[in-house]
Amino acid sequence: MSGRRGIVPLGKLDVTLLGLSAAYGVSQVHVARVLGPLAGQALRLQTTTSSNVFAGILDGWGERELARYRSHLPPDMIHPVIYAAALTAGAARLHQLSPLPTPIRRALLTAPAVSAACDYAENLAHWHLLDHRERITPGTIRATGAVSNLKWTLALGSLAYLAQGFIRAWAGRGSGQR
């Protein structure tokens, strides 16, 4: 095959990564579909560190919106393990393509699990606060907002690092570099 690039067969980790990425996509679409028009407000509810903003969002929702938000929580208890597994598989695959320095590799393998744990903590706190509005205090919402913001930072930071790493690894492969 001189002068022609052949198709590189997919390895076991590639198939795992593709499967988990597809599962993540389906899960994310499902959670967004369940939230429907509340998705933007739900994100604001998650990330606020203000008890006034948090309570104001809940107070602005009627029974239908509260039921919709509550109904997204069961599928959102499965979602974190899916995205954590996909990001972890991505880190492992990137390391195969382009060996990562040990501290970065450790961070990329740890961050998704910490992010998922934060997601679970946030979901449980919100589930509780929906029925116990008297517990919506400045300290509680600062803590839940900080946990949620850490979740988003770790998940999106991992995804951004992996995306640029794959682009660089694939660009190097295409140009004959390693």
Cβ neighbours of residue 165 under 8 Å, at least 6 residues apart?
A: 94, 98, 100
State how far the Cα of 3 lies from the Cα of 23, in Å rounded to an integer: 37
pLDDT in tens, 48-102: 999 999 999 999 999 999 999 999 999 999 999 999 999 999 999 999 999 999 9
Q: In sequence order, what DSSP letters do the residues of 7-64 get, joined into one string?
A: PPPP-HHHHHHHHHHHHHHHHHHHHHHHHGGGHHHHHHHHH---HHHHHHHHHH--HH
pLDDT in tens, 80-93: 999 999 999 999 99
Q: Dig out the tokens for 20 from the structure.
A: 């988990």
pLDDT in tens, 120-138: 999 999 999 999 999 999 9
